[in-house]
Structures are given as structure tokens and as C-alpha cells.
Structure 1
Amino acid sequence: MKTKTISFELPLGVFSALRKTPEELKNDIRIVAAVKWYEMGQISQEKASEIAGLCREDFLMELARFNVSPFQYTADEVLKEAGYE
């Protein structure tokens, strides 16, 4: 997998406020971004897992931690697709 490095600056107080090392915060940012983009329907579970740096199973656990459904369809959309509406 090819990668590209990005960097940005954060106030030093962020690390103490969140009680995270720079490495821990980097990993958290990757996960939070992947979860949010998945929740918004912008990326698939597979791509979100890749962005988060996790296997798919661990990414699903992160979705649960953030109270995000692993399903990108509403119940109504599933029923309609199944021919019940």
C-alpha cells in the first residue's frame, strides 16, 4: 500500500488535555476520522479500516465505541430493497 505523510500543528495543551502522547493522538485522529467519514457514508468499511490502521473486526469495535452503526442503510432502505415497501 502506498502512503502519503501529512502533518499539522496542534497546541501543546492538547496532549495534556487528552492525556495522550503524540503517537497515541495520531492513532486516535486516524480512527476518529475514519469512523466519521464512514458514518457520513463517504467511505466503505474496508477503506475506513485501512485509514484507521485496523483490521475490519477492530474497526467494527471502534464503531461500537463511538455508537456508530456498522450498517450504512436505514431500516426503511433495507425493507424497500427487500421489496417490503
Structure 2
Amino acid sequence: MKTLRLDIPDSVDFNEVEAKMLLAGKLYERGKLTLGQAAQLIGLTKRAFIEMIGKYGFSIVSDSLDDLYSDIENA
């Protein structure tokens, strides 16, 4: 697993959970992470991640073929 370090000015009201959510949401939306990987990055279940991404303005619909196949298998 890769580690990323960011220096954010103290004047910015921003915490680690929010940073992880924004990163995971954007990577999921762009198809770089599966739903499960994005949820794992934040430490949430898939269901909890799905509930959270709408609050951050990300689309639940992914263009990822892996997610599509996983959804079909789980249906």
C-alpha cells in the first residue's frame, strides 16, 4: 500500500477523514478504485461508503467493469 503525506495549512478546516473521503470518492468516480477498495481506504463498509459519497457530491454510478461484474454476481 502507498502512503501519501499532505501538508495542509492550519487555517483550512479539514480533517483526515474528510481528506480520505474526498480522495476515495474521486478515485472511485474515475474508476481507479472499486467500491470495495474505496470503502476500505476510509475504513467503512461498502454500504456506509455508498451512504457517504452522496453527501460529498460523488456519483454512486461507476464506469468500472469490475464493479459492474461484482454487482451482477451479487444480484
TM above 0.5:
yes
1:33 to 13, 18, 23: 23
Q: What is the number of equivalent residue pairs in this alignment?
A: 63
Cα distance in 2 between the residues matched to 1:72 and 1:41: 6
Q: Which runs of 5+ in 2 are unaligned?
A: 64-75
Alpha-carbon shift at residue 9 of structure 1 (Å)? 1.8
> Percent identity, aligned pairs only?
22
Following TM superposition, where does structure 1 have runs of at least 4 consecutive aligned residues deviating by more than 2 angstroms? 3-8, 66-69
Cα distance in 1 between the residues matched to 2:23 and 2:6: 15
CA RMSD of aligned residues (A): 1.9
Cα distance in 2 between the residues matched to 1:32 and 1:64: 11
- TM-score when normalising by structure 2: 0.69
Alpha-carbon shift at residue 8 of structure 1 (Å)? 2.8
Map 1:5-16; keep pairs closer than 5 Å.
6-14=4-12
- TM-score when normalising by structure 1: 0.62
Cα distance in 2 between the residues matched to 1:68 and 1:13: 25
Cα distance in 2 between the residues matched to 1:43 and 1:6: 16
